[in-house]
Amino acid sequence: MIVRYFTGIDDKGTKVTVAYDILKKDWKEVSKESKDKVYLIPADRLIYFKEDTEIENYNQILNYYKLLLEEKYPNYLYDIYVEKSQNKNTVHVMVVKNFDVSSDYFALDGEIFTLKRLLELSGEKEGYVFNFDTDRITCVLVKNGSIQYYRVFKGGEEPSKIINQLPYVEKNKPVLIVGNLTKELKDEVRFLLSSSNVIEKDRKSLALACALKPIFDKDFLSFRKNEFTKEELEKLKLFLVAMLVIYIIIYFLPSYFVEKKIKDLKKLEAKIFKSAFPDVPVVSPYDQLRASVKTNLSFELSKKLSQVNLPKNSKIYSVEYFDGVLTVKGESSEPPQLSKSVKKTPSGNFEFEIEVK
């Protein structure tokens, strides 16, 4: 029996540990705490977007977004995941903003993906998920196994106001509610969404779904920079096989050729490694990599995002991209630039809406 342990920790410090049997592909909740900790990132402390591209070269896509994010968010954690299909690639990007991440983390999990996983654990592939927390309310619509949209609202907001601010409403869907709501509020949510299937979960379930990330969504926006991707592992295998063949050939050469062949071998090693990992420079500096990336590709959404400059400690409530128009809504201590509308709140902050065409 080969067992691995993972501990999920939500933003309030609630912890749940699961034991995963790798051979049986089965898991169960246990009482011990693991060194492999998965931390939940609140939805108002992250930026997530996805966009399609017809570019097929994986490294070219990865390099472009790395440069873009390092220029736009130089001091923030980010992760990139490329979802491949026959006709296109879909790029998923998540940035962690204004959230202190513990240095002992094994992986990170965005709250919106934790809620999606919790819905799937409840046996549903689509529906609404609400997390009614004290400081925020997060709403996620899941359809066909993927997130259609998510929104973040202030804690204590009435269900009717929340539903009215959603981009669109699909009724008669399962509804999963996390948090201690009164029966009256639960019935109101059920009525507003015309749902006959309302599932209730406590806060502990969030930490459980978070702990299950390495089992169900290991490679998806996990922030585990220290591990090879599947593509890199395949290239590494080819690299090691090539090295083994070269060493065997040299071993059987006459002794007077050995010194010369070792020098040639080192050159060949560098060449093969560079071919396998073109985005990792062997001797060239970082600027050479920047110059090699084609930045004239069509990434309309990311270009528009780069125009949005938000004050420090801003909260992002929603990011919409429709018909070529990017709309960002949130709250900050001062009005951001390019704001389409600004409203001062009783707390002294500003609710804003930015539109980039």
Residue 314 covered by a domain: yes
Q: What is the pTM of this model?
A: 0.66
Contact 96, 77 (CB under 8 A): yes
Lowest-confidence pick of 119-123, 151-155, 326-330: 326-330
Which residue's entry shows tokens 């804690």?
A: 155
Q: How far apart are the first and last CA of the chain?
A: 56
List, in sequence order, every residue forming a beta bridge with 40; answer none if it has no partner. Answer: 109
Residue 239 covered by a domain: no
Residue 347 covered by a domain: yes
CA-based R_g, the chain, Å: 24
Which pLDDT tens digit goes with each residue over 174-222?
A: 999 998 888 899 899 999 999 999 999 998 999 999 999 999 987 788 8
Most confident option among 45-49, 232-236, 281-285, 335-339:
45-49
Give 299's contacts (C-beta < 8 A, 6+ positions apart).
Answer: 51, 53, 64, 68
Contact 7, 16 (CB under 8 A): yes
Asked if residue 231 has pLDDT above 90, the reply is no
Tokens linked to 284: 């060239």
Residue 90 covered by a domain: no
Tokens linked to 287: 């600027």
Asked if residue 313 has pLDDT above 50, the reply is yes
Contact 132, 179 (CB under 8 A): yes
Other Cβ atoms within 10 Å of 315 Cβ, number: 21
- Which has the closest alpha carbon to 128: 183, 86, 166? 166
Give 357's contacts (C-beta < 8 A, 6+ positions apart).
Answer: 324, 325, 326
Which pLDDT tens digit goes with each residue over 117-137?
A: 999 999 999 999 999 998 899
Residue 206 covered by a domain: no
Contact 352, 330 (CB under 8 A): yes
Share of the chain above pLDDT 90, in %: 37
Contact 178, 118 (CB under 8 A): yes
Asked if residue 298 has pLDDT above 60, the reply is no
Please state the three-class secondary structure of the chain as a single string.
CCEEEEEEECCCCCEEEEEEECCCCEEEEECCCCCCEEEEECHHHEEEEEEEECCCCHHHHHHHHHHHHHHHCCCCEEEEEEEECCCCEEEEEEEECCCCCCCCEEEEEEHHHHHHHHHHHCCCCCEEEEEECCCEEEEEEEECCEEEEEEEEECCCCHHHHHHCCCCCCCCCCEEEECCCCHHHHHHHHHHCCCCCEEEECCHHHHHHHHCHHHHCCCCCCCCCCCCCHHHHHHHHHHHHHHHHHHHHHHCCCHHHHHHHHHHHHHHHHHHHHHHCCCCCCCCCHHHHHHHCCCCCCCHHHHHHCCCCCCCCCEEEEEEEECCEEEEEEEECCCCCCEEEEEECCCCCEEEEEEEC
- Report the distance separating Cα 232 and Cα 239, nearest Å: 10
Residue 34 covered by a domain: no
Residue 346 covered by a domain: yes
As for how many domains the chain has, the answer is 1
pLDDT averaged over every residue in the chain: 82
Residue 226 covered by a domain: no
Q: Which domain holds residue 319?
A: 307-356
